[in-house]
């Protein structure tokens, strides 16, 4: 009987303690996170957190550089972006320059082809062997300072005890405190979304339903935003997409959707998935019309285009959110936009999303890790900091075809977000380059030669 008596008080105490901490925990959660999410206000806690973190990172990098100098290690500056300096001259400029310098005769009677023309192609070819723009775009952007995450640590080893302790502390905080908190929030957010939208689905169509569905969507997305500790700055909100338009944005990760949807209501477009995603999709569509396609329908471009244009013509329906790049890029550049969404002929509202990589890399390399792994990484980073710019609406002009319109929109997005505007097709990550590009080069070159010939035959 003795030992049992001893256990009881402790048992009670333990239960009481657990109970209290749970209640406190839950209350804090409710007050500081969920209630603000419902009303869309913010206490500013996250920004304070961000400032503190930045100071710590600066200190950490400083220590590492000092440590490296003390130990006489050559700090390999992995973060400068290139091996070689590429000169941004065009084919024409370069070849003309080579010829002008090397020609024995004066330019007018110069032969159309010169043996030295090959130098241009040769050099460009070797440059691309040494340093390739496209492949670089697909691996995570390298950082200039260490953000205490070993996953972005290419250069930093055990430099000092203090640093290692700090890093250890960081791990404990991130995995022991932040991660469970975030996972709880994520489940809450998603759960609420499914339940509430299903309930709203029972209401008759009308203004009340639309209003409620908007509020519910916004609230749940805001909870998800807090689940990722995403600190988002929205610029130019006066250009927010309106009904009957199409919103296009550059794509870095699946989180882009959450980021945009927490500030405005959109109709999503996508393929129906199985499992949890499928459940979410089905319940969302009960509350307001999203556009989900079956796997087989996705291949049929006409069907897709028709459904999109039908949706767009109905001005009571929300603006469509589309990511035309088709794949995730590592947020340093904007790749070629697929023209499908630009053929529909409605107003396009471009949006630029730029992530600040100092706090956590949001890039999803789908060939490297799967979705769950990715989400875990996201939730165990310090924070996701990003900026969203709403650009003024654009429409297709006279005589402009879909491809040109797409390029124009892409250039605007790249310029605003400070991203590099690349000609490359995002699908290159997985496939081979189209011969069309080779033909482009050949066309340019031949224009130089044959052009000259035509002039000569005329004179």
Partner 1 sequence: MGTTNSTLSKIPNVEELMQETGFTPAHIVRLYDRFEALDKEKTGLLRPQDFGAINRLAMNPIGDRIIGAFFSPGQETVDFHSFVRILAHFRPADKKRPKDPSMPEPVNSRTSKLKFAFQLYDQDKDGKISRAELLQVLRSMLEMQVTEEQLESIADRTIQEADLDKDDAISFEEFRKSLEKVNIDHKMSIRFLR
320-322 and 267-271 strand pairing: parallel
Q: Which residues pair with 325 in a beta bridge?
A: none
Residue 13 or residue 420: which is nearer to partner 1 going by CB? Answer: 420
Closer to partner 1 by CB, 127 or 421: give it. Answer: 127
103 near partner 1, rule: CB under 8 A:
yes
Residue 47 vs 66, nearer CB to partner 1: 66
Question: Of residues 12, 27, 90, 111, which one binds partner 1 by CB under 8 A?
Answer: 111
* Closest separation in Å from C-beta 156 to partner 1: 9
Angle, CA of 387, 261 and 296, to the nearest 5°: 120
Cα 282 off chain centre by: 25
Residue 352 contacts residue 388 (beta carbons within 8 Å): yes
Tokens standing for residue 355: 């992530």
The answer to whether 130 contacts partner 1 (rule: CB under 8 A) is yes
Grouping H, G, I as helix, E, B as strand and the rest as coil, residue 231 is strand
Which of 127, 343, 356, 400 touches partner 1 (CB under 8 A)? 127
Count of residues that bind partner 1 according to CB under 8 A: 63
With CB under 8 A as the contact rule, the residue among 18, 48, 107, 118 that binds partner 1 is 118
Distance CA 335, CA 427 (A): 9
* Whole-Å CA distances, 208 to 60, 168, 199, 205, 267: 53, 51, 13, 8, 18
309 binds partner 1, rule: CB under 8 A:
no
User: Using CA atoms, how far apart are residues 368 and 139, in angstroms rounded to an integer?
Assistant: 10
- Does 101 bind partner 1 (CB under 8 A)? Our answer is yes
Work out whether 73 is an interface residue with partner 1 (CB under 8 A).
yes
Q: Residue 421, interface with partner 1 (CB under 8 A)?
A: no
121 binds partner 1 (CB under 8 A): yes
- Contact call for residues 183 and 174 (beta carbons, < 8 A): no
Cβ–Cβ < 8 Å for 323, 248: yes
- Please report whether residue 52 would count as binding partner 1 according to CB under 8 A: no
458 in contact with partner 1 (CB under 8 A): no
Could you list the residues that contact partner 1 (CB under 8 A)? 68, 73-78, 80, 82-85, 94, 98, 101-104, 111-135, 154-155, 157, 424, 428, 432-433, 437-443, 445-447, 449-450, 453
């Amino acid at each position: 009987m003795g030992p049992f008596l001893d256990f009881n008080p402790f048992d009670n105490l333990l239960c009481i303690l657990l109970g209290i901490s749970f209640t406190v925990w839950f209350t804090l959660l409710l007050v500081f996170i969920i209630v603000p999410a419902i009303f869309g206000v913010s206490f500013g806690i996250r920004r304070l957190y961000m400032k503190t973190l930045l100071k710590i990172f600066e200190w950490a990098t400083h220590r590492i550089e000092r440590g490296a100098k003390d130990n006489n290690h050559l700090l390999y500056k992995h973060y400068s972006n290139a091996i070689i300096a590429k000169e941004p001259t065009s084919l024409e400029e370069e070849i003309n320059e080579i010829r002008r310098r090397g020609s024995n005769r004066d330019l007018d009677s110069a032969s159309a082809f010169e043996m030295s023309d090959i130098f241009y192609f040769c050099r460009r070819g070797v440059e691309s062997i040494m340093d390739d723009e496209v492949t670089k775009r697909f691996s995570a952007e390298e950082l200039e300072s260490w953000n205490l995450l070993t996953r972005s640590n290419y250069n930093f080893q055990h430099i000092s005890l203090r640093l290692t302790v700090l890093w250890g502390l960081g791990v404990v905080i991130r995995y022991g405190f932040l991660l469970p908190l975030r996972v709880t929030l994520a489940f809450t957010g998603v759960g609420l979304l499914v339940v509430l939208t299903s309930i709203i689905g029972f209401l008759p169509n009308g203004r009340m339903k639309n209003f409620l569905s908007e509020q519910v969507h916004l609230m749940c997305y805001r909870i998800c935003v807090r689940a990722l500790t995403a600190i988002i700055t929205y610029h130019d909100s006066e250009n927010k997409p309106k009904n009957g338009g199409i919103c296009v944005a550059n794509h870095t990760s699946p989180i882009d959707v959450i980021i945009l949807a927490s500030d405005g209501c959109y109709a999503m477009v996508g393929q129906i998935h199985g499992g949890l995603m499928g459940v979410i999709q089905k319940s969302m569509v009960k509350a307001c019309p999203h556009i989900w396609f079956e796997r087989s329908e996705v291949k049929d471009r006409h069907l897709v285009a028709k459904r999109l244009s039908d949706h767009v013509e109905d001005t009571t329906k929300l603006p469509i959110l589309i990511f035309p790049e088709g794949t995730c890029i590592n947020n340093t550049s904007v790749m070629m936009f697929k023209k499908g969404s630009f053929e529909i002929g409605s107003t396009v509202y471009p949006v630029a999303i730029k992530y600040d990589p100092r706090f956590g890399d949001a890039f999803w390399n789908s060939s490297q890790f799967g979705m769950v792994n990715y989400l875990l990484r996201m939730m165990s980073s310090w924070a996701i900091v990003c900026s969203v710019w709403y650009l003024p609406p654009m429409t297709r002009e006279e005589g402009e075809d879909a491809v040109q319109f797409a390029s124009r929109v892409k250039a605007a997005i790249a310029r605003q977000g400070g991203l590099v505007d690349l000609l490359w097709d995002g699908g290159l990550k997985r496939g081979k380059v189209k011969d069309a590009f080779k033909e482009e080069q050949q066309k340019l070159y031949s224009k130089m030669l044959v052009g000259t010939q035509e002039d000569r035959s005329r004179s």
